[in-house]
């Protein structure tokens, strides 16, 4: 079993509060969008069927905060301030994935941004 399977319950959780918090902050959005590309080191995944203690896993995870700041194009201090918010609200997970609601929100935001750049309105896609 790998981390994607071990963390499925956390990734699939209906985390509406975390998604609402994410939607209200450009910095959190940038950091969440960059999270899958951030270098990190996690311990070996647990054997199949063993439950994962998310807090213990976070304690054993090493994150490249400087690299994360560069990827997200934010100040390193902003990364250090936002990390506990993203982590504590279940928006990011130690294996580099995001909660499914946060991931959907980022995809929708990216699509809307691209459509605006190209001058496409939502109704135009239905024609």
In three-state secondary structure terms, 40 is strand
> pLDDT, tens digit, for every residue of 57-111?
999 999 999 999 999 999 999 999 999 999 988 999 999 999 888 888 888 886 6
Strand partners, 63: 40
Token look-up 């995870």 returns 61
Sign of CA dihedral 56, 57, 58, 61: positive
Q: How far, in Å, CA of 35 to CA of 11, rounded?
A: 14
pTM of the model: 0.77
For residues 122 and 127, give the distance between their C-alpha atoms in angstroms, rounded to a whole number: 10
């Amino acid at each position: 079993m790998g981390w994607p399977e071990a963390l499925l319950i956390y990734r699939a959780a209906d985390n509406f509060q975390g998604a609402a918090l994410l939607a209200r902050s450009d910095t959190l959005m940038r950091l969440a969008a960059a999270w899958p590309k951030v270098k990190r080191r996690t311990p070996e995944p647990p054997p199949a069927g063993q439950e994962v203690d998310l807090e213990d896993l976070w304690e054993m995870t090493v994150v490249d905060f400087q690299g994360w700041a560069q990827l997200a194009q934010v100040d390193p201090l902003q990364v250090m301030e936002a990390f506990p918010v993203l982590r504590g609200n279940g928006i990011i997970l130690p294996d580099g994935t995001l909660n499914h609601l946060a991931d959907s929100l980022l995809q929708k935001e990216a699509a809307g941004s691209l459509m605006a750049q190209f001058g496409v309105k939502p109704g135009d896609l239905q024609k």
